[in-house]
Amino acid sequence: MKIINACDKIKTTFVNGFDIDLWRKYASEISKELPSKCESDAKSYDFNKDVLPVLEDALNEDKIDFVSKNFQTVIDTLNTNLTKLFDTEPNINIILYLGLCNGAGWATTLDGKDTVLLGVEKIIELDWGDETNMRALILHEIGHLWHKMHGNLYFPDFTKRRKAVQQLYQEGVAMVCEHILCGDSEFYHQDKDGWLSWCYENENDIKKEYLRRLEEKTSVQDFFGDWCSYNGHSDVGYFLGCRFIEHLMKSHSLKEIAKMKYMFLNKAFTEYAKMPNIIFEYLNKNDFSDISSVIFDILADNMEKIAPTGNSREDDFNCWYDGVSDGLKREERQIILIKDSERIIGFFQYYTNDDTFMMEEIQLKPEYQGRSVFRSLYGFLLENINDSIKFVEAYANKGNLKSIGILEHLGLIRIGMNKNGNSFHFRGDYSDLVNWYKSE
């Protein structure tokens, strides 16, 4: 690994301000290819309007020294981070230099060698010069090079849709690599002024909008680049790409993902973007009366098709409300609300008794049934059920063939009926439920 810090040369070269001819000489001393590479990349910019002001602002000794110092600090400990992804030290260049606003970080090839170019002027402009952001930036660009070394960084036949899928894929893999290397899956160097919280709150809308643009073959540039924004927030595509790759990692290794082809990724993202943004949260029992009618309506709508009671809806609600509100007085009985963003689309009611986990009720709106919500619910449950549980029990109405099938798929067996004789009683080992979840 070769490291070049060209900051001192900046201070001695541009004593009287920026000059393009001096810059070409400065850049060519780093690499003969560098001047033409940067100028070609920046040719679409309005130099005097977009580039020169950034360069002039960056020609400040204190700012340059700050960036240079933190760059060196990160480099001194870099190999400790790289062992989390690389078996041996990668054969790459890392160059800190004054560019032409080509990017704070640029994973590319220079003189036939994989290279990370770090533009001092953009790092200063974006205020990414502190040690934490510098480390994240370097690790992110190294993530791109890891991707190149282990798989398909670029797709052939470059259509607009392929380009948009590729960019999301590339930045997503690089973000996941960055998280692995820095040891923090929640760190985004873009996170300022509530950026990450906003992304999580609007995740469903973000992925749907990206898919809409793919299908309509319109630009996704708003999602990438500090000079662009989607709904007032820059670089949202980095968040979306990372979330997409994290979704793929539920069933694939990162190395497998790095080799994926466009056709698979295009289909996978389309499916992912159409998935609901499911959230599970425990009901605050003090709020039961406020949301009781919402969850009862879901229950009643489903049961009308399976086992109608013949009573009025109001009578059924009053009977149900009295029973559930009384049951919730027991600490062991809980209700988990199932939401798509902020909208309640189902609920799960259960209680624990010594070594037994009793699944009392699970109800989902019809349009969410069969969409992996059930499995995701169990992932949430397994993180919250205590370790003393050994057995699982449940009841399923005799007419509810779907529920019966699910319970049997989980490995539960029929052991009898309820007192009214209208529901089967199921029982199984909790360990079988855990194994089912882990094996799916």
Question: How far apart (Å, rounded) are the C-alpha atoms in residues 328 and 249?
Answer: 38
Domain coordinates in residue numbering, the chain: 2-150, 160-274, 278-439
Beta strand pairing status for 113-119 and 93-97? parallel
Nearest 5°: phi and psi at 281? Answer: -150, 145
Question: Which tokens belong to 232?
Answer: 């007032």
pLDDT at 440: 55
Which residues neighbour 105 within 8 Å (Cβ) at sequence distance 6 or greater? 116, 117, 118, 119, 137, 138, 140, 141
Question: How far apart (Å, rounded) are the C-alpha atoms in residues 382 and 297?
Answer: 27
Q: In degrees to the nearest 10, what's the CA dihedral of 118, 119, 123, 125?
A: -170
Give the pLDDT confidence of 144-202 residue by residue, as tens digits: 999 999 998 888 877 889 999 999 999 999 999 999 999 888 889 888 888 988 888 88
pTM of the predicted model over 0.85? no
pLDDT at 124: 97
Nearest one of 75, 49, 231 to 138, comparing CA atoms: 75
Handedness of CA 74, 75, 79, 82 (dihedral sign): positive
CB atoms < 10 A from the CB of 67, how many?
A: 23
Domain 278-439 has what CATH class?
A: alpha beta
SS3 at position 154: coil
Handedness of CA 84, 88, 89, 90 (dihedral sign): negative
Report, as ranges of residue numbers, the positions in the chain whose pLDDT lies below 70. 370-371, 440
The answer to whether 131 and 112 are in contact (CB under 8 A) is no
Question: How far apart (Å, rounded) are the C-alpha atoms in residues 268 and 272?
Answer: 6
